[in-house]
Amino acid sequence: MLYNTLKRVFDFIGSLSALVFLSPVLLIVGILIKLDSKGPIFFRQKRIGKDGRIFKIYKFRTMVQNAEKIGDKITKGNDPRITKIGKILRRYEIDEIPTLINVLKGEMSIVGPRPEVPKFLQYYGGKYRKILSVRPGMTDLGTLKFRDEARYLKDGNAEETYIKRILPKKLSLYLEYVNNMGFIYDLEIIFKTFSLIFRQKKI
């Protein structure tokens, strides 16, 4: 498909250009993370990729070292494991910049269904299996809709709430994207993403 080929070209050129342009930001943020708390600069976590293949996503570390071992894998609102600099990085989506490495490697796309952790693979059955036919992305309708999902998970069992209330809606939005993929649709999502980041409002 011409769209898929051109989408990959756009992803490669876009991610490479962004990484070069943002290299000073990457350096400064890396230094701030090291000064703020102990641990590595980057956080890597297994995620579900195209055709169900598992890959490791790159992000700036926004939580204390070994956070997954001392709490839930799902981040709650006002999670005490989030560092001071981490709160700022999360608010402005700066922690997501290293994910451009995954896009450059061909593991992800700039626009596409957000990759979930492997333990949620079981929920991709039936019609939702189609979601795994495309590369996951940095942003999509589900990502925009639930940008502040941590706020909804601050009480009770965060994982149970996520599975019952949020994940089903996300999967529906992921599927909606896959069924309507196209250049115009991708550009609309990119525009909404930047608009949301700069305006700090919900869509």
Flag whether pLDDT at 202 surpasses 60.
no
Give me the pLDDT at residue 196, please: 84
Q: How confident is the model at residue 6 (pLDDT cuts 50, 70, 90)?
A: very high
Instruction: Print the domain residue range for 95.
Output: 2-199
Is the whole-model pTM more than 0.85?
yes
Residue whose structure tokens are 């502040």: 148
Q: Which candidate, 95, 88, 92, 33, places its Cα nearest to that of 64? A: 33
Q: Cα–Cα distances in Å, from 191 out to 1, 53, 145, 186? A: 24, 29, 14, 9
Each residue of 21-79: pLDDT tens digit? 999 999 999 999 999 999 999 999 999 999 999 999 999 999 998 877 676 667 766 78
Q: How many domains does the chain have?
A: 1
pLDDT for res 201: 47
pLDDT the model gives residue 146? 86
Q: How far apart are CA 15 and CA 139, in angstroms?
A: 13
The sign one gets for the Cα dihedral 170, 171, 174, 175 is negative
* Burial call 53-75: b when 16+ CB within 10 Å, e when fewer: eebebbbbbbbbeebeeebeebb
Beta pairing, strands 109-111 & 137-139: parallel
What DSSP character marks residue 166?
Answer: I
The pLDDT assigned to 200 comes to 60
**Which pLDDT does position 68 carry in this prediction?**
75
User: What are the tens digits of pLDDT across the range 83-126?
Assistant: 999 999 998 889 999 999 999 999 999 999 999 999 999 999 99
Contact 118, 47 (CB under 8 A): yes
107 touches 58 (CB < 8 A): no
Tokens 């980057």 sit at which residue?
42
In 3-state terms, what secondary structure has residue 182? coil
- Residue 70 confidence (pLDDT): 73
- 90-113 as b/e, with b when 16 or more CB fall inside 10 Å? beebbbbbbbbbbbbeebbbbbbb
Q: For residue 15, what are the contacts with CB-CB under 8 A and spacing of at least 6?
A: 100, 101, 103, 104, 110
